[in-house]
């Protein structure tokens, strides 16, 4: 059996039969505020804690604010910045330069840094840089290919399509990755509940239960009580 890479998210690794199979890429898709960025940061923190090299590619937040957000959960990214952690910030508003960096710089960085974990937050902002459907597709396939070739285990976050929140906004990433984790809200007795599902995980027997999770000052935690409804 393939070695498992722990996400570091309590409750989820059990659902996955130990973690993400080594070398696989997964998509974490969800509406705004469901914890996609937190998920990606928690996954990177788990790696740093274990002495692994990690790359965090962000289109959402700049370096300073990534470090600050992580610190809010008690994760000290700054300690690793000149060693095991590489933060790459791409500008969603500067399409031309970001596209150049994605095409020319990222494959090199991914090859050279020899990270065992990579997180990309978010692919929805990457695809927004491109106008044509086939350019979006090609960009994600290429990025995923460089990551695969590096041997890293990766997480891509993506926003859902507001008209069909079961799928990502572009509907591309699901086909690029080996696994899909879906995050959503559900209203229950005047209270919003966060719900996690594993939609796909190649070569893995995984839980198909729908599980509640919470975001606390220590990050994401999947709750074990199976009965949500």
State in angstroms the smallest separation of the CB of 157 from ligand ATP: 7
Which C-beta is closer to Mg ion: that of 156 or that of 207? 156
Q: Is 21 in the site for ligand ATP (CB under 6 A)?
A: no
Binders of ligand ATP: how many residues, by CB under 6 A? 13
Q: Are 59 and 90 in contact (CB under 8 A)?
A: yes
Q: Applying CB under 6 A, which part among 1-9, 36-44, 92-100, 195-203 lies near ligand ATP? A: 36-44
Residues that bind Mg ion in the complex, under the rule CB under 5 A: 36-37
Q: Are 147 and 25 in contact (CB under 8 A)?
A: yes
The closest alpha carbon to 70, from 59, 82, 78, belongs to 78
Q: How far is the CB of 33 from Mg ion (least distance, A)?
A: 8
Q: Quick one: 24 or 36, whose CB is closer to Mg ion?
A: 36
The listed partner (Mg ion, ligand ATP, none) that binds 166, CB under 5 to 8 Å by sort, is: none
Q: Which of residues 41-80 bind ligand ATP (CB under 6 A)?
A: 60, 72
5 vs 59, beta carbon nearer Mg ion: 59
Give me the least distance between CB of 159 and ligand ATP, in Å please. Answer: 6
Choosing among Mg ion, ligand ATP, none, which partner's interface includes residue 215 (Cβ < 5 to 8 Å by kind)?
ligand ATP
Q: Looking at the chain, how many residues does it have?
A: 229
Q: What are phi and psi of 113, to 5 degrees?
A: -75, -20
Q: Is residue 32 near ligand ATP by the rule CB under 6 A? A: yes
Write out the binding residues for ligand ATP, residues 145-204 only, by CB under 6 A.
none
What minimum distance in Å lies between the beta carbon of 29 and Mg ion? 12
Residue among 82, 217, 225, 227 that touches ligand ATP (CB under 6 A): 217
Residue numbers at the binding site for ligand ATP (CB under 6 A): 30, 32-38, 60, 72, 215-217
């Amino acid at each position: 059996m393939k070695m498992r890479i722990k996400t570091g998210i309590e409750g989820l690794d059990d659902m996955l039969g130990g973690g993400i199979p080594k070398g696989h890429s997964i998509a974490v898709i969800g509406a705004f505020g469901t914890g996609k960025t937190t998920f990606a940061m928690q996954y990177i923190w788990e790696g740093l804690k274990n002495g692994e090299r990690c790359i965090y590619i962000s289109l959402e937040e700049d370096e300073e604010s990534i470090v600050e957000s992580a610190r809010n959960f008690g994760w000290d990214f700054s300690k690793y910045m000149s060693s095991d952690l590489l933060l790459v910030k791409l500008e969603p508003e500067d399409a031309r330069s970001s596209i150049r960096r994605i095409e020319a710089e990222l494959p090199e960085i991914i090859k050279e840094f020899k990270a065992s974990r990579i997180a990309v937050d978010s692919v929805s902002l990457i695809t927004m840089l491109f106008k044509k459907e086939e350019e979006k597709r090609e960009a994600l396939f290429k990025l995923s290919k460089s990551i695969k070739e590096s041997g890293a285990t990766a997480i891509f976050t993506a926003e859902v399509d507001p008209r069909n929140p079961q799928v990502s906004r572009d509907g591309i990433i699901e086909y690029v990755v080996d696994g899909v984790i879906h995050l959503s809200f559900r209203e229950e007795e005047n209270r919003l509940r966060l719900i996690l599902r594993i939609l796909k995980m190649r070569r893995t027997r995984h839980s198909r239960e729908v599980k509640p999770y919470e975001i606390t000052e220590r990050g994401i935690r999947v709750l074990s009580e199976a009965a949500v409804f």
